[in-house]
Amino acid sequence: MKLLKLITTTLFLLTLQANQVEAMDHGGMIMDEKGMIMNDNNDRLPSDCPKISENVDITIRAGQKHALKFNGKMFAFDKQEWDVKPCAKINITFINDDQIRHQLMIHGLPGYLYPQGMFHLELYGQGELKASLIVPSQKKTYLVHCELPQHMEKGMKAQLKVAGGDVDLPSIPGISEPIRADVYPVDWNRSTVALLLFCLLAGCVLPIVVLKNK
């Protein structure tokens, strides 16, 4: 009786696992416990490309440490711009340096190759994913960003240019001006005014004291 129960349970678990694997690989989406890849494209050419013009290997890292070079930003990619030839095949290695979830999304691609015009890599924590896409021949700038709430707004935004691109997108850290600049208001009360006056006074008096002591 115990043997029969063990065999039944084992068969059930194997069936369940097989169904889960099948469910996680459908409609251009591959998902596991570490992350997700959507619309990986290794060989399907855009209609305006007779052949692949070049193979480009790009490593893109995401994380908080990459935002340190930008004042007021919390998240960023390690680079904010890439430029490729028309009809290039781009082999992306996406690395998440944080313990939190990050995405790499490219928008505006042709929908007949990339459903919803989107290429998508996502890691739920530290890790690495690899996938490819083939860009059309059109001279264009594509948005690259993380779509999680506040990640793009806090700096995780870049641009992919084909043939130099057609424009610089707004609010790309280190490249273009923000649409809405960050504002850090000061609560002017007696304490902050007193602190400001003290700093001004110290800044005037200390150099005199130092010079006299010399």
Could you tell me the pLDDT band of residue 9, with boundaries at 50, 70 and 90? low
CATH number for position 50: 2.60.40.420
**CA gap 158, 110 in Å, rounded:** 19
Tokens coding 143? 């948005």
Going from the C-alpha of 8 to that of each of 3, 4, 61, 86, 99, the distances in angstroms are 9, 6, 45, 56, 39
Q: What is the mean pLDDT of the chain?
A: 88
In this structure, is residue 100 part of a structural domain? yes
Q: What is the pLDDT of residue 10?
A: 57
Q: What is the dihedral of CA 129, 134, 140, 146, to 10 degrees?
A: -20
In this structure, is residue 213 part of a structural domain? no
In this structure, is residue 70 part of a structural domain? yes
Query: What is residue 128's DSSP assignment?
Result: E
5: Cβ contacts below 8 Å, ≥ 6 apart = none
Contact 74, 148 (CB under 8 A): no
Q: What is the pTM of this model?
A: 0.74
HSE-CB of 107 using CA atoms within 13 angstroms: 9
Q: What is the pLDDT of residue 194?
A: 86
In this structure, is residue 29 part of a structural domain? yes
**CA gap 152, 76 in Å, rounded:** 8
Could you tell me the pLDDT band of residue 21, with boundaries at 50, 70 and 90? very low
Q: Tens of pLDDT along 113-138? A: 999 999 999 999 999 999 999 999 99
In this structure, is residue 7 part of a structural domain? no
In this structure, is residue 132 part of a structural domain? yes
152: Cβ contacts below 8 Å, ≥ 6 apart = 145, 146
In this structure, is residue 79 part of a structural domain? yes
Please give the tally of structural domains in the chain.
1
Q: Tens of pLDDT along 74-115? A: 999 999 999 999 999 999 999 999 999 999 999 999 999 999
Residues spanned by the domain of 152: 25-200
Could you tell me the pLDDT band of residue 16, with boundaries at 50, 70 and 90? very low
Q: Tens of pLDDT along 140-196? A: 999 999 999 999 999 999 999 999 999 999 999 999 988 877 676 777 888 888 888
In this structure, is residue 14 part of a structural domain? no
Q: What is the pLDDT of residue 184?
A: 66
Going from the C-alpha of 143 to that of each of 6, 56, 117, 167, 192, the distances in angstroms are 53, 18, 11, 11, 41
